[in-house]
Structure 1
Amino acid sequence: MPSSRRQFLTLGAAVALVSACSPPEKSEVSDSGPVPGKPTKPVTLNVLDVAGNLQLTQGMIDDFIAKNPDVVEKATYTKATAPELVGKVKAQQDAGRVDIDLVLTGVDGLAGGIDQQLWAQLLPTHAARLTGMQNYLPGAAAMQKLAGDFGVTVTYYPSGPLIEYLPKNVPTPPKNTEELLAYAKANPGAVQYARPSNSGPGRTFLMGLPYLLGDTNPKDPVNGWSKTWAYLKELDAYITLYPSGTTDTMKNLANGSAKIIASTTGWDINPRVLGTVPKEAKTGTLEGFHWVTDAHYGVVPKGTSTDKQAAVLSLLNWMLTPEQQAKAYDKGYFYPGPAIKDVPLSMAPADSQAALAEFGRPEYEQLIADNPTEVPLDAKDLVAAFDRWDREIGGSKVKK
């Protein structure tokens, strides 16, 4: 803030500014008023997951509750799809009764909420309580910039876009976008990706195409994606349906109704661990490949009580400790998963280590090292890309 403006702060605003820089044990100011260092009494946290993130983090949350009963008495967990998130939260805010305290979301729900101004501002006001953010991996730090002041990155991975297939069905997989299109044309209905606004692999495929196709500005879906939109439209002619979520694409790959699907490192490994997809499935990249990274975030809806905000801040910082981040390896769902530095697989639970030893892919380490990484679109542009895809590409073919 310019010094000239500081001189005209009211006394109340000055007090608020001082409070924002106070040590964690004192109250800090949020959109809902001063946030105490801890709740006045243990709270119940209502957690909404729209990203499948609880698979990675519920163990972290449950462990926090067990060891901090004076902060959180219990948690309730519910799940929804990312496209449902904005309407659900906005309806509660309009009614003046917000009963969602923490949302675990990917960049899709994060972007939609920022666009609609639904999230409480967490930073820099509460930075002193979120010291774990200082240890982010470079990729996670880049992903944090997408959240601005309104979310905290809790898990991270390089993502994709990858193609996935069964060698018995696709003995010679496409090596570039032209070959993928030719395969789709020769095999109508065999290429599949889920609706981007509700699918990590679908979203990553959408944002990865501008790099694969050499578009003029991969960060501008409105004016810089002419090749991408033309390619998607042409590909659409040979796609019979777009599942509403990624899981259905995995099932379709397994049953043979889809032969090539969009995938990511985590969506490759985890469904094979779970037996949804045969172990022998393979993945590949297309020529010109750039990683489009991904992350999950914790966000707090505006209107959440200050006691619950205090609990959420303590919880989020707990989740960013090395011991808790090691749980993010899970069974490969968001591979690797940790958002902070110095969390080797050897710190992960034994079942995670065993699953990744059997189903992980050693080549991923080299792929991550050898290829450029790109952050996703920012909130405004991502919403614009989703909207255009729904209107002009696949919205009418989405299978609910």
Structure 2
Amino acid sequence: MTRRRTFVALAAAATATLALAGCAPTTSASVGTAATSQAVTGTKGTVTVFISGDTNVQSLWDDAIIPAFEKANPGATVKTQLDLHGEHDAQTLAKLTSAVKAGDDPGYDLIDAGFIQAAGSANLLENVSSTKISNLATVPAATVKAGDGYGIPYRASSVLLAYDADKVKTPPKTLDALLKWIKANPGQFAYNSPSTGGSGGAFVTTVLDKYLSESTRKKMETTYDKDDESQWDKGFDELASLNKSMYQNGVYPNGNDAVLQLLGTGGIEMAPVWSDQVITAKNSGTLGSNIKYTQISNPSFTGSASYLGIPKTAAHKAVAEKLANFVLSSKGQALIAKSIAGYPVISLDNVPASTRAQFAAASPSTLRPSYYSTTSADMSNLWNSKVPGK
């Protein structure tokens, strides 16, 4: 099962998530430090990973990362706790706050969740650096910086342009070319409504960005200012003008999966899709060999890194740091790529050739961050009122 991404803010206690806000490009050929996978000498004890997400993320840990880490580190044991779909993020954050303030062990040692930024901002997480987690030195500085000193980037994804290569011989390479193609091929393009999934949200964001100044765009990545949203008007007008060129004269599917299914069954010829979804579907044979993907430019679609965090009062912080370091090793990053088609966050120079080839058409080095979570929520609501049926 692929996790559901939306551009809607979390509950008030955890609105500012790194999954959808302010993450910088996650790979860079200029990063020359090699990732290491050394065993942890003398590492013993049990470390628990708390996961807020879908079962595919739990399977990544249980079936790939943990067995490899335990094999490399005899005496270390790793367990997982899952909050399916992150349905209790607000409650989890509240309980973590209480535990840390009381100096108590929260019951887990490493967090894989969308509320890392909220937890870090509340001073609930351990500060991290390459001194403690040496393989952080292999991650581009901008990506590490986006973690604000407590978030550990460990995988990434972006939205790509997928297309039926049997029908589309030369896919668009820029946003302007894509908009031109959509108008010239009515009914053959679809994106989901932004509130039902991030792939549609990324398309909307990218069109809106076409009409923003660079300074306004940068501001929207990291802060919330409702007054700036008036500058979206031209972009929303552009999106509304596309209605008659959309699938079935303006039908917007609900969810990322629905769009991918339309593409796979021949209902449309082109769509924005999540990188891990399309790569995984192709690898599993769910999508045929005729479906290919690329990244557009000027601007590209958005993408982001996912971050881990270590609670300040975790009982096994040292082992958690070693586990995070393993995840950032060449082997760990290759396991993530193989298991859920997650982009490596370390330089592609530091991963196996087969992993580099997997992302050759995805251009992970061109990722663009999306809007601040509250701004993204406003965007979705405004889209609902300004675009469909106009």
8 Å CA contact retained: 1:195, 1:202: yes
Matched, 1:389 2:366: no
Q: In structure 1, how many angstroms separate the alpha carbons of the residues matched to 2:251 and 2:75?
A: 54
8 Å CA contact retained: 1:242, 1:394: no
2:235 to 228, 234, 240: 228
- Structure 1 residue identity aligned to 2:152: V
Number of residue pairs matched by the alignment: 325
* Closer/same/farther in 2, CA of residues 117 and 143 from structure 1, 3 Å limit: same
Counterpart in 1 of 2:179? 178
2:341 to 333, 339, 351: 333
The superposition leaves residues 103-138 of structure 1 with CA deviations (integer Å, 9 ceiling, x where unpaired) of 334xxx257x428946733325x65221111122x3
* Closer/same/farther in 2, CA of residues 183 and 307 from structure 1, 3 Å limit: farther
- State percent identity of aligned pairs: 16
* Closer/same/farther in 2, CA of residues 383 and 132 from structure 1, 3 Å limit: same
Structure 1 length normalisation: TM-score?
0.64
The superposition leaves residues 58-90 of structure 1 with CA deviations (integer Å, 9 ceiling, x where unpaired) of 522322234435443x312536336x4633523
* Closer/same/farther in 2, CA of residues 103 and 233 from structure 1, 3 Å limit: farther
8 Å CA contact retained: 1:110, 1:297: no
CA drift at 1:273:
0.9
* Closer/same/farther in 2, CA of residues 396 and 258 from structure 1, 3 Å limit: farther
Counterpart in 1 of 2:118? 114
Counterpart in 2 of 1:8? none
1:315-326 equivalences in 2 (<5 Å): 315-326=323-334
8 Å CA contact retained: 1:325, 1:343: no
Q: In structure 1, how many angstroms separate the alpha carbons of the residues matched to 2:241 and 2:235?
A: 10
Matched, 1:128 2:127: no
Matched, 1:61 2:66: yes
CA drift at 1:262:
0.7
* Closer/same/farther in 2, CA of residues 38 and 393 from structure 1, 3 Å limit: farther
* Closer/same/farther in 2, CA of residues 225 and 147 from structure 1, 3 Å limit: farther
Partner SS, residue 253 of structure 1:
helix
Counterpart in 2 of 1:163? 161
Counterpart in 1 of 2:217? 218
1:343 to 334, 339, 350: 350
8 Å CA contact retained: 2:45, 2:76: yes
* Closer/same/farther in 2, CA of residues 253 and 42 from structure 1, 3 Å limit: same
Counterpart in 1 of 2:304? 294
Where in structure 1 are there 5+ consecutive unaligned residues?
Answer: 1-36
Q: In structure 2, how many angstroms separate the alpha carbons of the residues matched to 1:70 and 1:396?
A: 58
* Closer/same/farther in 2, CA of residues 101 and 326 from structure 1, 3 Å limit: same
Partner SS, residue 320 of structure 2:
helix
Counterpart in 2 of 1:243? 254
* Closer/same/farther in 2, CA of residues 260 and 297 from structure 1, 3 Å limit: same
The superposition leaves residues 147-179 of structure 1 with CA deviations (integer Å, 9 ceiling, x where unpaired) of 21231011246x3x4321224566776662532
Q: In structure 2, how many angstroms separate the alpha carbons of the residues matched to 1:396 and 1:178?
A: 18
* Closer/same/farther in 2, CA of residues 38 and 168 from structure 1, 3 Å limit: closer
- Structure 2 residue identity aligned to 1:328: I
8 Å CA contact retained: 2:65, 2:327: yes
8 Å CA contact retained: 1:50, 1:79: yes
Where in structure 2 are there 5+ consecutive unaligned residues?
Answer: 1-39, 100-104, 221-225
* Closer/same/farther in 2, CA of residues 173 and 118 from structure 1, 3 Å limit: same
Counterpart in 1 of 2:93? 90
Partner SS, residue 192 of structure 1:
coil
The superposition leaves residues 216-243 of structure 1 with CA deviations (integer Å, 9 ceiling, x where unpaired) of 2332445254443444455568543443
Q: In structure 2, how many angstroms separate the alpha carbons of the residues matched to 1:236 and 1:39?
A: 62
1:140-155 equivalences in 2 (<5 Å): 141-155=141-155
Partner SS, residue 125 of structure 2:
coil
